[in-house]
Amino acid sequence: MWKKLLKCREVAAVFSKMKVQNGMSTSFWFDDWSELGCLMDKTGAGGPMNMSIRLHDTVDTVIQKHKRRRHRVELYNLIELEILKVKNRGLQSEEDIRLWKCGDDYKPSFTTKETWKLLRGMQERVDWFEGVWFRYSTPRFSFHTWVAILDRLPTGDRISLWNGGIAVMCPLCKDCPETKNQLFFQCKYSGEVWPSLTRKLLRIDYTNVWDDIIPLLTKRRTKLELFLFRYVFQATLCAVWAERNGRRFGEDPKAASGLTKIIDKQVRNRISSIRHSHNSAYHGAMGTWFSFR
């Protein structure tokens, strides 16, 4: 991990600069403290010798000991001006402050959110995001659902694009080629699991067609019913995918009724764990779930 962090130094460097106060913790050559930026990047290895300033001197040391002189290279004269600005302003008694880039400005506090925005940029918000990332979701289930919605799961049809010689039939039903829409939930196997968990919960909205299920994740309904539907949807996706992988790699198959019981237990366990949060909005979740079973 440390080696990977070191590889990010050049990216991270543009996000940090120093506000000089007493100058004692600011590197003259390696920190971004002046309007010229990091001076070592500007001058290269010859900078310390040409300026007669040692490589590891702090701004405080330079302000106290350096004597201004004229240089043939204009860049060094600009550096002399930066030193003079600090001398004229005077050093203070407070510690230097490290600033972090936040939007178009620099602030004393680092925020992961703002840094992520600068690194990745803001994308258009999709309609289904609340159905994937919601309160009391299980992160592993949410991540898997996100990958599935983006159509990034290595299903048979996608694998065949990389390797034409591999079997692409659905390992659950063995009747038709495996695709995301077929696996969730038009396969005979998953087609038994899905309705037994959601038919009563969804009532007239029930469907086993993937493209029709995704809008239901954000359709208005009671808070408890919406939470239960989102959670059982994600739990079912993960369970079906795990069963699919197990069969593909030679594990003993589970009956559809057995997988249904496993998912049902996962939902009940999650509801039980929420009780300890003392959130009154979810107190009736277990009774609501039992009413649909």
Could you tell me the two tokens for 182?
Answer: 């077929």
How far, CA to CA in Å, does 168 sit from each of 21, 208, 224, 237? 66, 22, 39, 19
- Which pLDDT value is given to residue 225? 94
Element spanning 98, H or E: strand 97-102
Q: Is the pTM of this model over 0.85?
A: no
CA 221 to chain centre: 29
Question: Which pLDDT value is given to residue 121?
Answer: 72
Alpha-carbon gap, residue 77 to 53, rounded angstroms: 14
Report yes or no: 260 and 236 within 8 Å, Cβ to Cβ.
Answer: no
Tell me the DSSP string of 114-147: HHHHHHH-PPPPPTTHHHHS-TT--HHHHHHHHH
Map tokens 């309160």 to a residue: 135
From first to last of its 293 residues, what are the pLDDT tens digits of the chain? 999 989 888 888 889 999 999 999 999 999 999 999 999 999 999 999 999 999 999 999 999 999 999 999 999 999 999 999 999 999 999 999 999 998 888 999 998 888 888 888 777 889 999 999 999 999 999 999 999 999 999 998 898 888 777 768 899 998 889 999 999 999 999 999 999 999 999 999 999 999 999 999 999 999 999 999 999 999 999 999 999 999 999 999 999 999 999 999 999 999 999 988 778 888 889 999 999 98
Q: Buried (b) or exposed (e) across 53-91, using 16+ Cβ within 10 A? A: beeebbbbebbeebeeeeeeeeebeebbebbeebeeeeb
